[in-house]
Amino acid sequence: MYHQTGSPDVLRYEDVPDPTPGPGEVLIRVETVSIEGGDTLNRSGGLMPSTPHIVGYQCAGTIVGLGDGVTDRAEGQRVVATMPWGSHAELATAPSLVTWVVPDGADIQQVACVPVAFGTAHDCLFEFGRLQAGETVLIQAGASGVGVAAIQLAKRAGATVLATASSTERLNRLWDLGLDTGIDYTKDDWVDRVRAATQGRGVDLVVDSVGGSILQGSLQCLAYRGRCITVGQAGREGKLVDLSSLGAGNQSITGVFLGAEIATPRARQLIADLVDDVAAGRLTVPIDRTYPLADAAAAHEYIESRQAVGRVVLLP
């Protein structure tokens, strides 16, 4: 928890009263916390619905209590859940509507990381990006949670996959996921490298979770009729993007936020299918590091160092 927003060292490991599930909610004894990009952004300067504030919107564990009206879940079930906040804890509440049962035998650390990252990646690629087999996609921040999901999903769909990361070392850990071309976006000529990798044509789709100057470069990478998806804005650069070039190429840019639809039947079924895919080994979640819950500040600091490939999780 933290009493004010700021750098990772604002996080405190303290005792608080146990939460109680409200109507339609379940109480979860947390076994794994998936640290999401929004968690670090909210800690650094987001809204605090309460003081102190327990950050975090995704975890997995065992249901130990039911709120009024919950009939689709039972005590003793292991679930992965999303919530507005509160995952960085030993106990958390979540609406039962946005919980998914963990299949028997599944790696709960991997499953804990599925809903937001894999659901977002799928929506960016297919629901809004309309990616088709034979097309070429550029995935910015390929080593991120959304990035590692998008690489696998795009490759499985028959696309040619380009991705960026902040170092050759991080890119080298993405080849086994289905990466075809890796590009270091810290180099000034990264846009030229993307275009060279596509014989000057550009890519059909970009999934950009960084924003700012990187998003501007993403637009320069588009082929004729190319589509750009912007999601997350992890860079928080706040730079205005010039869209004047889109018209000449009949190109488009679309913003995506899974949270707006995560409780819809479509998204709930999509995430259930992705959970099953990870549980069965058809998709994988690289776990870069695990930390005890008490060391959440160190975990957040490591994420912000941009060394991780895949996910960083907390273990209460």
Same domain assignment for residues 134 and 101: no
208 found inside a domain: yes
Residue 237: its pLDDT value, please? Answer: 60
CA-CA distance, 138 to 307, in Å (whole number)?
A: 20
In a domain, 278, yes or no: no
For residues 125 and 53, membership in a common domain is answered with: no
* 222 confidence band (pLDDT: 50, 70, 90): very high
Is residue 235 over pLDDT 60?
Answer: no
Supply the pTM of this predicted model: 0.96
Provide the 3-class DSSP secondary structure of residue 32. strand
- Residue 73 maps to which CATH number? 3.90.180.10
- The verdict on 120 and 99 lying in the same domain is no
Residues 27 and 79 in one domain: yes
Q: What is the pLDDT of residues 148-206, one digit of tens each?
A: 999 999 999 999 999 999 999 999 999 999 999 999 999 999 999 999 999 999 999 99
E strand or H helix at 152, and its extent? helix 145-156
Instruction: Say how far apart CA 305 and CA 40 lie, in whole Å.
Output: 12
| DSSP3 helix / strand / coil % (the chain, rounded to 5) | 30, 25, 45
Domain count, the chain: 2
| Per-residue model confidence (pLDDT) at position 239 | 72
Does one domain contain both 250 and 219? yes
Average pLDDT, the chain: 96
The stretch 127-141 carries a mean pLDDT of: 98
Please check whether residues 201 and 86 belong to one and the same domain.
no
157 shares its domain with 27: no
Asked, for residue 274, whether it belongs to a domain, the answer is no
136 and 255 in a single domain? The answer is: yes
Please tell me whether residues 131 and 236 are part of one structural domain.
Answer: yes
Residue 109, pLDDT > 90, answer yes
**Domain final residue, candidates 217, 241, 259:** 259
Token digits of residue 185: 């976006």
Residue 270: inside a domain: no
Is the same domain home to 37 and 86?
Answer: yes
| 264 occurs within a structural domain | no
* pLDDT digits 0-9 by tens, 62-84: 999 999 999 999 999 999 999 99
CATH number for the domain including 174? 3.40.50.720
Residue 71 within any structural domain of the chain = yes
* Same-domain status, 162 and 182: yes
In a domain, 1, yes or no: no
Report how far apart, in Å, the C-alpha atoms of 171 and of each of 38, 163, 164, 272, 310 are.
Answer: 23, 8, 7, 29, 11
**For residue 88, what are the domain limits?**
8-113+285-315
Is 154 contained in some domain?
Answer: yes
What integer is the mean pLDDT of 217-236? 90
Q: Are 110 and 287 in contact (CB under 8 A)?
A: yes
Among candidates 148, 137, 208, which has minimal Cα distance to 175? Answer: 148
The residues facing 300 across adjacent strands are: none
Coil, strand or helix: which one is 31?
strand
Give yes or no: residues 19 and 72 share one domain. yes
